[in-house]
Structure 1
Amino acid sequence: MSIGTEPHGDWDHRVGTAFAVLPYVLLAVSTSAALAQRDTPVQIPGVLGVTLATALWLACFDANPRWWENPTPARVHYAGLTVLAAVLVVLAPWYGIFAFIGYVHAFERLDRHWRYLGAATTSMIMSVSYQGGAHNVLTGDWWEWAVTSLVSVVLAGSCYSLLDTAERRGRERTRALVESHEANARLEAALEENADLHAQLLARAREAGVLDERQRMAREIHDTLAQGLAGIVTQLQAAEQTLDQPSTAGRHLTKAMSLARESLTEARRTVHAMEPELLADARLPEAIAAVVHRWCETHDVDAVLTTTGDARPMHTDVEVALVRTAQEALANVAKHAGASRVGLTLSYLPDRVLLDVRDDGVGFDVTSPRANGSPGGGFGLAGMRQRVRRLAGRLDIEAEPGGGTAISASVPAIPATGGTR
């Protein structure tokens, strides 16, 4: 497997292994070079003794990697290694090769200003090697050693500064990536939870909607069909009792026929209000437009629908709730408002869908108790409020006597899914 494609963990492991072996390799190379040198013989016993001590010092700390987690043991290790490297360079300048490991360990195992202090010390030790050994420095080349040390310290400090900056930016990028990953994970969890909540909400809305629709239909039948049928029965009974008076009986029969026609009209209106075809072949704006058009024809009142925003398919329960709200609001206008003009606005927002219905009718006092015994509206308004609340929506009513009425329904913009229309 190539380096460009191998896992990041494997690459880090190989780099760590290489850095752990490097000091021993440099120590072996330096020892071999020092022993092979013929021009300036070295004290072999001393060199080998210090070399062995250095190897043991390295191995002692490598065997306890947890020591590097504490700054104090790391500094003790580096100080001991620096002293041993300096002794080796004094004994044999070729150990400047090994002294280079001081740069690596200073950056890896020291922190903050200790890094720069370690790099400066290593530079001074290696400068002795550059000058051919401590004897040359002490016998007159000390100024060359000083200049070389100064240049080495400046270069090492500059390199460390760049490495520190790169390391800090790397940590910041890593932290940012981790935080981004955690944020994405939290967002995904929130989206999943939100989807589950929406599903539960819609399921409960369907169940509650069935009961709500039954209650509404029961009120509609009681207020219209049942009363109409009772009136028809009353007129037929009266006609039966006056069969010997043709004119009177005919009048009762005429009233019964009139009540029958009215009841038929009410029955058709109720059926139309239940028709699922309103949304079967049309989007929400067209469905509400059809409701408005039919209402205008029936009641001879001017009504206009305006749509704003990005009209897009919503979940069936959302669209049904808004269509039913439009129907109920217009029914209330016809029954109570005495309005000459009605304006409807359907607004698509990024996270909400709003339906506003305003009329110029007689209005009412929203603080006074209504037919259902609560302030803010009768059964129609209460039904609308219950319907939108079951979708985690909100219904606001603004009205005043003689100033018309404004109804605003706001529901979540739950998009249509494959399981809906």
Structure 2
Amino acid sequence: MDFSERLGPPHAMDALTQRAIGPAVRLLCQVRLAVLAFALVLALLDGAGWLGVFLVVLAAPFSFVPALNWDTRGRVYARNGILLAGDTAVAVVALLPLAGSPLMAVYAAATAALWGLFAGLRLGLVMATPLCLYQLTGYEGGWRGIVTGAAGAALTVIMTWTGTQLGRRLRRQAVQSAELAAARADQAALAERLSLARDLHDTVAGDLAGLSLAVRGLADRLDREGAAPGTVATARELGDAVRTAHEHTRRALGELRDDPDDLAALVAETARRWSDRTGTPAEATVDPEAAAAAGPGRTRHVRAVLTELLENVRKHAGATRVGIEVAVVDDAVRLRVTDDGVGPGPALSGRAGPGRGRYGTRGVRERAELCGGDATWEPRSGGGTVVTVTLPAEPHDSGAPRGGTTAVGPRGRTRAGRGRDDRYVTTAEVA
């Protein structure tokens, strides 16, 4: 996919485009305001009357307001047909006090460039047509006036094209900068994960491995020396717990070193492991569009959040069944975990605020906010909890999306194949 495909049509306006063209929009609006200020002075000096002053004052807000708050309201201005039509009409009206003056060509050129910048070439030319027609008839003086008007109209067309090209270049530069920043952030995150993995391997993992061997030896020695059966059983349970902790640590080390790219498989595997360990059936559904929108960065966050939410279900919910859904909603990746347990309680109901909930739920909220998203806990109709975590989609190039539905239960058997819609689908039968 090249830049033109990522950027979409010239008139497409998103947050990135709004920020990219903001400085140019403000500059052109300031040029228009400067011309209007000159026109106001000329109208007062020439005694043009209140009509000329009124026309200048009428046109000023269409430049002053966008220059003031384009960063927050730019998409509204660019998409609102009434505002665009109003700016077109006011631009023509603003030329009346400037008739026959070189300032008319300057104002028309700045206006045409502004329209081309955020509206694109086609719409910009349509909007600039009244300006061109007025300039062709707004100069007096025979052939000299006709030539001057034609030159002004031609300049208006050229400036519309120039504004369009400037908008494209600014958008392209913004995309390149965003991709470079994302690549650097991914590299920094990878380096941090690898450093953390090395530290865990050299400290916690090694200590747990040694402790596991020591506890196993202790249990065998107690058995040989005829210790009480309860003492031997406790020692073996302690050994099992240490081995489980060691396995979890090694799994975490592997996840830190891996760069996940298959969201559907990752969610299915996480649900399967949790279900096998707890004996609670879990059904996972991943929208193919979510797998395409998540990207490696969001996929890692989805895995971490899902793992924590499932642990919360195991520790606190007392659920008999869990549902997991990953979908794309309003250009964001939404993870929803539903259980039929005891419910969230008043401390967690609604949007999780600062300091609310246990450490696990705080971690979920903080991770969501780190990505610019949010997390909510709501009671489920009929009993239980619905946790919804929303993460803004990560822009990236991808091939065909993969997704599917995975039903996981204790001792589940898994098979894979093609669904009716030719998507990658995984299913599991509960034994």
Rg bigger for which structure? 1
Per the normalisation by structure 2, the TM-score is 0.47
The higher relative CO (CA closer than 8 Å, separation ≥ 6) is in: 2
